Amino acid sequence: MNGASREALASGRERLDALTDNTSVDAAKLAEELAAVTTLLDREKSLRRVLTDPARTGEAKAELVTRLLAGQVGAQATELVSGLVRVRWSRSRDLVDGIEELASTADLAAAQRAGVLDDVEDELFRFGRILASSPELRAALADRRADGAAKSGLLGRLLGGRVNPVTERLVVRLVAQPRGRSLEGGLEALSKLAAARRDRTVAVVTSAVPLSDRQKQRLGAGLAKLYGRQMHLNLDVDPRVLGGIQVSIGDEVIDGTILNRLDEVGRRMAG
């Protein structure tokens, strides 16, 4: 997002944080209702154009939202969406993207309140690894010709009772309504949102063998000191790296694996 949309979403995040910080607000229910609004606006293109039309006053757009959502979602969701349409968006699609992000963030806030945010982060990461290792499963879930309900049912059989309910809801929404994103891109976005809940950065750590608790603590502390912020480690084991570790933080890769060193030696010899 750029310009006006970025500012609009930032204000929406602040309002959502104020809501979810209140323990009397059911964050999971709020997430479900915001997801329903996302579905509505994603389907009704003309409606979202009206709600982002700069020629209409913010108050008029907010009143329209109130009438449309009356009896469909709760007061908090209605208030939040009304606030979003009062401000300017660069593109009508950005409004839908913003509400979708707030829905996911509300679910993650529910996980954080329940003390299971770490579990959700890890489960999202592991699901991504499952997809990477199973082309058949990925193809079935990414098939745009397949019915959304069928894909949701497949995920229910795969994840039901095996992961936190928040993880399952996030993944099911992503698969059932990808909205033009790849599964990998959607999972990465969810992982970043989860990390942002506690102002942390995600580091993907690949090693030949599982790291010990002491090694994880030392690595986490070292990365936190290096980057000046708390790190969440997503751990992956890949025997192909032979030894050492590889750390990926966003687009930056710190490669200390034996395989990389052998590759470097090979390049020098070839040169």
> Of the given ranges (19-23, 87-91, 130-134, 171-175), which has the lowest mean pLDDT?
19-23
Give the mean pLDDT of 96-108: 97
Mean pLDDT of 231-254: 82
Instruction: Say which amino acid occupies 115.
Output: G
- What is the structure's pLDDT at 147? 84
Look at residue 42 and tell me whether its pLDDT is greater than 90: yes
- The mean pLDDT of 143-170, rounded to a whole number, is 90
**Mean pLDDT throughout 205-229?**
87
Looking at residues 175-184, what average pLDDT do you find?
89
Cα distance between residue 215 and residue 122, in whole Å? 18
Average pLDDT of the segment spanning 113-131: 92
| Whether pLDDT at 239 is above 60 | yes
pLDDT tens digits for 20-30?
888 789 999 99
**Residue 182 phi/psi, 5° resolution?**
-80, 160
pLDDT at 62 (0 to 100): 97
Query: What is the amino acid identity at position 198?
Result: R
- Name the nearest CA neighbour of 27 among 19, 35, 37, 15: 19
Strand partners, 206: 236, 246
pLDDT at 201 over 90: no
How confident is the model at residue 267, as a pLDDT? 61
pLDDT at residue 235 in the model: 85
| pLDDT tier for residue 264 given thresholds of 50, 70 and 90 | low
What pLDDT is stored for residue 148 in this prediction?
Answer: 81
Q: What would the mean pLDDT of 126-143 be, rounded to a whole number?
A: 92
For the record, the structure tokens of 176 come out as 């059932």
Q: Compute the average pLDDT of residues 94-107.
A: 97
Q: What is the 3 state secondary structure string of the chain?
A: CCHHHHHHHHHHHHHHHHHHCCCCCCHHHHHHHHHHHHHHHHHCHHHHHHHCCCCCCHHHHHHHHHHHHCCCCCHHHHHHHHHHHHCCCCCHHHHHHHHHHHHHHHHHHHHHHCCCHHHHHHHHHHHHHHHHHCHHHHHHHHCCCCCHHHHHHHHHHHHCCCCCHHHHHHHHHHHHCCCCCCHHHHHHHHHHHHHHCCCCEEEEEEECCCCCHHHHHHHHHHHHHHHCCCEEEEEEECHHHCCCEEEEECCEEEECCHHHHHHHHHHHHHC
Mean pLDDT over each residue of the chain, to the nearest integer: 89
